[in-house]
Amino acid sequence: MGRPVVIGNWKMNATIHQAGLLASAIRNSVSDVNGVQVVLCPPFVSVQEVSNSLQGSGLKVGAQNMHHQEKGAFTGEVSAEMLKGLVTHVILGHSERRRDFNETDDLVSLKAQMALIAGFQPIICVGESLSERQEGRAEEVISTSIKSSLSGIGPGSDFVVAYEPVWAIGTGEAATGSQAQDMCQLLRDCIAVVFDRETASRTSILYGGSVGPDNAAEFVSMRDIDGALVGGASLDAEQFASIVRTTALERVSSSV
Ligand code: 13P
């Protein structure tokens, strides 16, 4: 079982001012919760503001993306070096980046290598589309995707993996707990193949896709699901805090 982790992916939402307020509200709402690593991932322009709001708390800040090269003529991009001191995590290979910016597993692998060099924990996202699932190819797609995305990462690295089926993101149609468990177990087995069983069991594997206060327990009560990657519900401090609390109840109490 990996460490319990709940991550808020704010996507392209909130101004800098709103981001600071939201981070403070979340910080206050989860101040009584122990044992769950909470990571907030605002847009780049708000990373500094959110980092300021979370100073002195156990909450961490993550970026939503990052370029794989050190520096250079890459208009509009942000490097690992620029994020140093501001973030501890970076989301890589989110399906929206794969879909809208043609990011491939090979690129995700390069980004993950750069993130680790910078000392960040990559949060590597994989997920099948609806048609891939309907064609019975979900397992094959996920296995190939995670193995390629992890290729090039050295043994002993710390990373997080998120299973986010494309059809469940922002649709209100979450996977069932058992669908998510099956895929997260498969991901753990793939990590064991790429590295070893010890790495597989200590890696945090999260489910993402229409997670909210009402269904969080269904996921985090599953053996191979260590937490959640939350989109829409992470923009509401109370809803997000409720997911964090549920994760603490299900996973922290069960591991002591
Ligand atoms: P929703 O929680 O809005 O479905 O988004 C999930 C997601 O993409 C998190 O990265």
Q: Report, as an integer, the average pLDDT of 101-121.
A: 97
Q: What is the mean pLDDT of residues 72-78?
A: 98
Does the structure show a pLDDT above 80 at 253?
A: no
Confidence of residue 140 (pLDDT cuts 50, 70, 90): very high
Q: Are 93 and 108 in contact (CB under 8 A)?
A: yes
256 pLDDT band, cuts 50/70/90, is very low
Ligand 1, residue 229: give the atom nearest the CA.
9
* pLDDT for position 187: 98
In degrees and rounded to multiples of 5, residue 189 shows phi and psi of -65, -40
User: Where are the extended beta strands (E) located within 84-217?
Assistant: 89-92, 121-126, 160-163, 204-208
| pLDDT number for residue 55 | 96
Question: Domain 5-248 belongs to what topology?
Answer: TIM Barrel (3.20.20)
The one catalytic residue in 128, 164, 218, 250 is 164
What average pLDDT score do residues 11-29 get?
98
- Distance (Å, rounded) from C-alpha 252 to C-alpha 256? 7
Q: Please, where are the H alpha helices in 30-76? A: 47-54
Q: Among candidates 161, 122, 155, which has minimal Cα distance to 143? A: 161
Residue ranges of domains in the chain: 5-248
Q: Which residue among 67, 68, 94, 250 is the active-site one? A: 94
Name the helix (H) or strand (E) containing 101. Answer: helix 95-101
Residue 170 Cα to ligand 1 midpoint, Å, equals 6
Q: What's the pLDDT tens digit per position in 196-219?
A: 999 999 999 999 999 999 999 999
Residue nearest to atom 1 of ligand 1 (CA): 231
Q: Is the dihedral of CA 129, 229, 196, 120 positive or negative?
A: positive
For the entire predicted model, the pTM comes to: 0.97
Residue 200 pLDDT: 97
Atom nearest to 208 CA in ligand 1:
6
Give 169-201 pLDDT, tens digit per residue.
999 999 999 999 999 999 999 999 999 999 999
As a whole number of Å, the CA-based R_g of the chain is 17
